[in-house]
Structure 1
Amino acid sequence: MTATSFSTFKELHEGSTPLLLPNAWDAASAILFERDGASAVATSSASLAWALGYADGGTLPREELLAAVRRIMRVIKVPLSVDIEDGYSDDADAVADLVADLQHYGVAGINLEDGGGTPELLVAKIKAIRSKLAGAGFFINARTDVYLRGLASGDAAIQMAIGRAQAYQAAGASAAFLPGLCDAETISAIAQALDIPVNIMAVPGMPEISQLFAAGCRRFSLGPVPFQLAYHHAREGVHPFLHQGQTASLFKHELSYPSMNAALNVDG
């Protein structure tokens, strides 16, 4: 990773407009998002695992992840953040080794979650990563699942989220990710308690991004939704072919062969 890639990615969290971060699952989706104007791209752990034939939830082999990341890095120029779930290990040093490999391939940052583990374990992983990288710039987006897993509610959830995020910040996290949260007042309370950017994942029925940005959320991502959208449309298009022998629906929203081929002809 170049220092410029990390610096660019970090600055995107500090601007006067929100960072809108689409989640890709392979080189093709990543280059399409970049060409459509994305200033950075992230992976979704679920989408990437599904695309490679694995269930989400820590089952993706390390080498499969790294190979997929290399393919994405080969075609895009904007910064890439990689979702590594809980680091695929409870061993903090093993997680740090994985992150060092990702940094070597040019990745600007990661998502790293507490999930079902303890906050202390994520603190240990963040510290191990910072020690392994020896001061090199790298963006660690520390995810807490307080809201996604419903670990608490009301004021108790706010205090739990703040406590965890502050611990991750002290360990070396660059940002705090709170999927499942979309309430402006709660976002404001958490953002004011931290010195690092807050970010969330889009959910159905959430307020306008402009409102949540004003409340203190700096970054918005989509999780597995782009993958689900793409594969929903693929299934809907193929269904009439399989069941009625019809092909008309396949060509209504065609992404042209020349444009797709040109986008991926990075070595030509």
Structure 2
Amino acid sequence: MSGEFHALHHGGNPLLLPNVWDVGTAEALVEAGFRAVATTSFGIASSVGVPDGVGRTRDHVVAFVRRLAPLPCLLTVDVEGGFSDDPGEVADLAVSLADLGVVGINLEDGAGPGRLVDAGLHAAKVAEVRARVPRLFVNARVDTYWVDAERTISATLARAERYRDAGADGIFVPGRLTAPEIADLVNGIGVPLNVLWYPGSHGVAELAALGVKRISTGSQLYRAARRAAVDLARELADGFLSG
């Protein structure tokens, strides 16, 4: 299965990867024909009432993966920054997830608004995971545009190069990128580029033409579901009050 997931990043069309936060949504997406799904750290954190990106959801993520494991799909998991600054501990987590059937992980280098982790430390995490679980697809996330730090193509490529050389199979650059910026990243990274999809932004055909190989929804599906729930509840309340 891991070989199939790797291959999906090298086909003629980008891998369209929806991000899930509960089993029911994952089941519905698999039934809709999505071969691969990912988790969303924001959705998981929000659903259990803790902040995203501060390393407090490790146990929740592992428990969620156990519930998702029986689904007939390829599963890749967002593990924030690995929930540790110790590359060995990050690799231990990767081994545990791979043993549950996970075929990929997403490791992010953001450390909060305006802050990035040391690129050398992040590269060491990537290298340790690669050494311990060579079959796992390691997607190294470069958060320069996401946290608004070192927000230039040159800085992004410099970080991406370190992670690629450490063994990353793909690079994820989330944030609102222009078409020329995406093209520069595709041309400079040397491994499949993953970008975040935004409603009303670049379409799949445009991103494919630019050379993007993986398109994630991030927390967009979770946020849309939450908005839809509130809108429906308001419709209920409005109907009652107007009556």
Counterpart pick for 1:55 among 43, 51, 68 = 51
Aligned counterparts of 2:199 and 2:13: Cα–Cα separation in 1:
22
Amino acid at match of 1:64: H
Residue 115 of structure 1, aligned match among 97, 110, 118? 110
**Structure 2 counterpart of 1:169, which letter?**
R
Q: Which residue pairs with 1:167 in the alignment?
A: 162
Q: Which runs of 5+ in 2 are unaligned?
A: 112-116
Match of 1:148 among 141, 146, 163: 146
1:219 corresponds to 2:214: yes
1:30 maps to which residue? 26
Note if 1:46 corresponds to 2:42. yes
Question: Tell me, what secondary structure is at the counterpart of 2:76?
Answer: strand
Equivalent in the alignment of 1:207: 202
Structure 1 residue 57, shift from structure 2 partner: 1.9
SS in 2 for 1:193: helix
Alignment of 1:1-268 (within 5 A): 5-74=1-70, 76-116=71-111, 117-133=117-133, 136-153=134-151, 157-242=152-237, 245=240
- Aligned partners of 1:141 and 1:174 also within 8 Å: yes
The C-alpha deviation readout for 1:230-253, integer Å capped at 9, x for no partner, is 12111222234456548xxxxxxx
Q: How many residues align?
A: 236
Secondary structure, in 3 states, of the residue corresponding to 1:217? Answer: coil
Query: Which protein shows a greater Rg?
Result: 1
Secondary structure of 1:124's counterpart equals: helix
Confirm or deny: 8 A CA contact 1:180 1:203 kept in the other structure.
Answer: no
Kindly state the Cα deviation for residue 165 of structure 1 after the two structures are TM-superposed.
Answer: 0.7
Displacement of 1:131: 2.4
Q: Deviations over 1:61-94 (max 9, x none)?
A: 42221111110112x2111110001011111111
Rounded Cα–Cα distance in structure 1 between residues aligned with 2:59 and 2:209: 40
Q: Which residue of 1 aligns with 2:114?
A: none
User: Following TM superposition, by how much is the alpha carbon of 1:52 offset from its aligned partner in structure 2, in angstroms?
Assistant: 2.4
Q: Deviations over 1:195-238 (max 9, x none)?
A: 21001001354222211211111111111111111121112222
Unaligned ranges ≥5, structure 1:
247-268
- 2:45–2:57: 8 Å Cα contact kept in structure 1? no
RMSD of the alignment, in Å?
1.6
Structure-1 separation of matches of 2:83 and 2:55: 8
- Within 1, Cα distance between the matches of 2:78 and 2:127? 18
Counterpart residue identity of residue 138, structure 1: L
AA aligned to 2:183 is S
Give 3-state SS (helix, strand or coil) of 1:58's partner: coil
TM-score, L = length of structure 1: 0.83
Measure the CA separation in 2 of the matches of 1:61 and 1:83: 11
% identity of equivalent residues = 36
TM-score for both structures, normalised by structure 2: 0.91
